[in-house]
Structure 1
Amino acid sequence: MTGDAAGDAAGDAAGDTSDAATGDRLRGADAATVRRALADRDPFPGGAGFAGRVAAGGASFMNREGGGGPRLVRDVLGRQPIFVERDASDPTASEAWSFDPTTLTDPEALPAGTTASPSGERTTAWTLPDPPAADPEPAQAAVTEAVTAAVEAVGDADAGATAVAFSGGVDSALAATGVPDAPCYVAGFEGSHDLSAAREAAAEMDRELRVVELTHADLERAVPELVAATGRSNAMDLNIALPLYLTAEAVAADGFERLVVGQGADELFGGYSKVVEPAADHRVDADTVRGARRETMLTLPAQLARDVLALRAAGVEPVAPFLDDRVVAAALELPGDLLATPDERKVALRRAARGAVPESVRTADKKAVQYGTYVARELDRLARQAGFKRRMDDHVGQYVDALVAGEV
């Protein structure tokens, strides 16, 4: 599925809502929910994020902040990306904004939690809460309840149109339980960690697994397509997005419209090594586990813009149960020792998975996707084979630029 057909399918699956009479056009939530969130300054009004254009509709926030005209909006975690023309005189005009940056001349992302008015004024409508840590027992109970509800809700839509991105780790395995009859897909080069882990986990869970075995030709073809779709050309973004994109291509080719993904689990639940002992880790500024977790959460808007655009460009709409408002709100109250310890990461999420996935899957270690699939290794190999040696500054980035320009 390519071009307009892919965009139409992804847009339909995203739950676009529009009302010609009011000028509302939104993804992820209806206008009433967004107006209520604006009026109450509520960062978690229910659902899994939203973006788009909403008319005033009497929302007191918009009446206070600029005369009650229409607004562009993007939720507090940026789960739905939205873009505006950088120098637009009226960013709310239909030709000045889009969910797809490729339709604009000079796009920039609207920051998460922000509204934009017809005059171009931007206002922070929502900020990510920073509540104190709750006591461990009720905090764990709240996470378990929220995760269970969000995962079960995945199956409420058309399950026949849904597939699962599956790496064999606790995130994707737990998400997959929401659609028990959906096929699971894993991408990677043969011999990679993710293929091995996914095969073992799928066998343990008695799930159908479809393997997307990657080749160098896949990377060479997909890199220019991803750069065009996302506007990202740096090696790190591409190494992460390539497995998602190539998985989603296979999913769309098989006729599925929705892809269940585990996005957000590492950021919310302390899945990164830098969160474990932050005071001794130069990669974070915080000196507590909860503070370091917050830093990783604040990277989500940029990450999700990349991932959502990549998946939509391939023709599917992502479904991310761990980014449900209920899960985010509960995760924010976790104490540090339910996030990460020297012995275990994503502690609360793994406990929430007890009884839902096999024990071997619940406790399995997981590699970052760019390494677990061998995509980073093989893109580096392609760059060196094309003459871009490691001694060169950003040799993979130079290779990407040459590939996009058709010079290799």
Structure 2
Amino acid sequence: MAELPSADLRGTSPDRVRDALRDGDPLPGGRGFAGRLADPPDRDGPVLVRDVLGRQPLFAEREAIGGDSAAATDRAPTDPDAWSFDRAALDDPERVPAGSVASASGVDRVWTLPVGPPAEPEAAQAAVDAAVDDALGGLADESGGPDGPGRLAVAFSGGVDSGLVAAGAPDAPCYVAGFEGCHDVAAAREAAAAMDRELRVVEITHEELLRAVRAVAGVTGRRNPMDLAIAVPLYLAAEAAAADGVDRLAVGQGADELFGGYSKVVEPATDDRVDADTVRGARTETVRTLPAQLERDVLALRAAGVEPVAPLLDDRVVSAALALPGELLASDGERKVALRRAAAGRVPESVRTADKKAVQYGTYVSRELDRLARRAGFKRRMDDHVGRYLEDLLPGD
């Protein structure tokens, strides 16, 4: 029988983390991990660990982990009251950096993402195909059935990422949240019809938007318009799923970053949003944003009452994606080339080739936050008018 995660460690078993530390392996299998490891190899005492992509959030008191405080302290980050998976459980939380080990002696970066030359296109595509097959293959088994505990649902926006995830869990209901008339709801309806899937539409109102903004800001500590506009639709979809008895929500997170889904990756040499001048280099920059993004999304989903399941962030998929040549990331205006090819035969052609809007725009959440800000007197001529509105709306620190 496979060893299960301990109460102090989420995502994988202590043995797998010990092996990853011993071998220096940044992608040891699974979908990430974080927590307290009681008996790490070659160390004198317990440590906190967090995987290389930060797929599991982990926090420690700032004074225990160092932070920006100059005050001396004898407190260790592994003390029972000095760390948590939930930032709200701590007085002054500081995130444990992705890929790091934290102990009484400090914080050490021990894992970094593998960097190497690209694989040959044919072999690279075959590796992605196999990795996606493996990652999605066991997803249906995780649902626990339509009525029992462990029920799984899918966050569904009609694009190739969520379409692939939904294809891996054919009996799971699908959920989408957005304002009336928005792109994501329309796309999800079309894709669900093409895939013959049950879809629940969660219609966002201004009242629900403001309630969710406060909730998400409270659990994530994020107060800026971009983070809140991204997390709020996910939170509301997850909340509706939890109310229907779902306790795990499968998501397509990571696909855009790993597979070249952003427009800035297509022509990086002429795009001032990235420093790199190659497609692979620009993709690497987007991958490095994942720890901060995933922390936000995981905390929001857990606050809504579900545990996220992210099969496209499986180590096998990550490893295959990192080896892709630029032409299989973005080419001739097409993005996520390798992932779309892997989706052939799994999802309808209309879903495989669907053009996806960023969630904050596709759901109209950014548009409606702007509208509420202007109604409250924060006009567009003001610098960061939505950000100022949110600071006025949200309680102080």
Letter in 1 for 2:121: P
Q: Does 1:77 align with 2:53?
A: yes
Q: Does 1:122 align with 2:107?
A: yes
Work out whether residues 45 and 325 of structure 1, in 8 Å CA contact, stay in contact via their aligned partners in 2.
yes
Work out whether residues 169 and 362 of structure 1, in 8 Å CA contact, stay in contact via their aligned partners in 2.
yes
Name 2:334's counterpart in structure 1: 344
Please point out which of 111, 116, 119 is paired with 2:97: 111
Deviation at 1:83, TM superposition (A): 0.4
State the percentage of identical aligned residues.
70
Name 2:67's counterpart in structure 1: none
Please point out which of 272, 275, 278 is paired with 1:285: 275
Q: Does 1:378 align with 2:368?
A: yes
SS of alignment partner, residue 249 of structure 2: strand
Rounded to whole Å, the distance in 1 between the matches of 2:298 and 2:199 is 23
Work out whether residues 159 and 182 of structure 1, in 8 Å CA contact, stay in contact via their aligned partners in 2.
no
Name 1:4's counterpart in structure 2: none
TM-score (norm 1): 0.91
Letter in 2 for 1:256: V
Work out whether residues 278 and 284 of structure 1, in 8 Å CA contact, stay in contact via their aligned partners in 2.
yes
Name 1:327's counterpart in structure 2: 317
Rounded to whole Å, the distance in 2 between the matches of 1:115 and 1:295 is 23
Q: Does 1:246 align with 2:229?
A: no
Work out whether residues 265 and 322 of structure 1, in 8 Å CA contact, stay in contact via their aligned partners in 2.
yes
Structure 1 residues 26-71: Cα deviation after superposition (integer angstroms, max 9, x where no partner): 00011001001011010111100000000225x2xxx2xxx42111
Name 1:192's counterpart in structure 2: 182
Rounded to whole Å, the distance in 2 between the matches of 1:255 and 1:338 is 39
Deviation at 1:178, TM superposition (A): 1.3
Deviation at 1:215, TM superposition (A): 0.4
Rounded to whole Å, the distance in 2 between the matches of 1:30 and 1:16 is 4
Deviation at 1:394, TM superposition (A): 1.4
Name 2:117's counterpart in structure 1: 132
Work out whether residues 140 and 171 of structure 2, in 8 Å CA contact, stay in contact via their aligned partners in 1.
no
Name 2:12's counterpart in structure 1: 29
Deviation at 1:317, TM superposition (A): 0.6
Name 2:308's counterpart in structure 1: 318
Structure 1 residues 107-140: Cα deviation after superposition (integer angstroms, max 9, x where no partner): 0111100000123x11111001112100000100
Name 1:154's counterpart in structure 2: 139
Letter in 1 for 2:138: A
Please point out which of 95, 100, 111 is paired with 2:86: 100
Residue-pair matches, total: 378
In structure 1, stretches of 5+ residues that fail to align are: 1-14, 19-24
In structure 2, stretches of 5+ residues that fail to align are: 65-74, 146-150
Name 1:217's counterpart in structure 2: 207
Name 2:161's counterpart in structure 1: 171
Rounded to whole Å, the distance in 1 between the matches of 2:50 and 2:189 is 38
Work out whether residues 159 and 179 of structure 1, in 8 Å CA contact, stay in contact via their aligned partners in 2.
no
Letter in 1 for 2:93: P
Name 1:276's counterpart in structure 2: 266
SS of alignment partner, residue 350 of structure 1: helix
Rounded to whole Å, the distance in 2 between the matches of 1:143 and 1:180 is 21
Work out whether residues 59 and 94 of structure 2, in 8 Å CA contact, stay in contact via their aligned partners in 1.
yes
Rounded to whole Å, the distance in 1 between the matches of 2:284 and 2:335 is 15
Name 1:21's counterpart in structure 2: none
Larger mean CA deviation between 274-283 and 392-401 belongs to 392-401
SS of alignment partner, residue 87 of structure 1: helix
SS of alignment partner, residue 17 of structure 1: coil
Rounded to whole Å, the distance in 2 between the matches of 1:341 and 1:380 is 34
Deviation at 1:16, TM superposition (A): 5.5
Work out whether residues 152 and 250 of structure 2, in 8 Å CA contact, stay in contact via their aligned partners in 1.
yes
Work out whether residues 35 and 49 of structure 2, in 8 Å CA contact, stay in contact via their aligned partners in 1.
yes
Runs (4+) of structure 1 exceeding 4 A deviation are: none
Letter in 2 for 1:26: L
Structure 1 residues 276-316: Cα deviation after superposition (integer angstroms, max 9, x where no partner): 01011101011100000000000000000000000001010
Work out whether residues 229 and 366 of structure 2, in 8 Å CA contact, stay in contact via their aligned partners in 1.
yes
Please point out which of 56, 68, 80 is paired with 2:44: 68
Name 1:38's counterpart in structure 2: 21
